[in-house]
Amino acid sequence: MARSNRPRGRKSSGHDDDDGTGLGHLLDGWRRSEVRRDGLWHVQPIAATKALKTYQCPGCALPVEPGTAHIVAWRGDGVLGDAADMANRRHWHSHCWKIT
């Protein structure tokens, strides 16, 4: 009998993880650090396909609607530590973040 090279089931690629332990958090967007006048910020772009909830942009106070590509930013030099900085991350419209 001939061998079939077709996959028999869906295997996990490590991209669909929610806990940040696989490659999903790296492939969703390129996280970078930016120095602004008020300190160091970590910035993570969010693709439109990954934007599932509504957030309020701190730059313009308008909603960041689901399906809208945007930026998530959090302090990189907070005095309360990394966990507190991550808990205080905010979702910005890309344009609002650029003009801030």
Domain extents for the chain?
A: 27-99
The tokens of 24 are what? 């999903």
Q: What is the pTM of this model?
A: 0.69
- Secondary structure of residue 67 in the 3-state scheme: coil
pLDDT in tens, 57-95: 999 999 999 999 999 999 998 888 888 988 999 999 999
Q: Which of 41, 40, 50, 57 is nearest to 18 (CA)?
A: 50
- The token duo for 96 is 């609002």
Structure tokens at 29: 């967007």
Amino acid letter, residue 89 = R
| 2 CB-near residues (< 8 Å, 6+ apart) | none
Q: Which pLDDT value is given to residue 14? A: 43
Considering just the CA atoms, what is the radius of gyration of the chain in Å? 18
**Would you say residue 25 has pLDDT above 80?**
no
Residue-level pLDDT at 12: 46
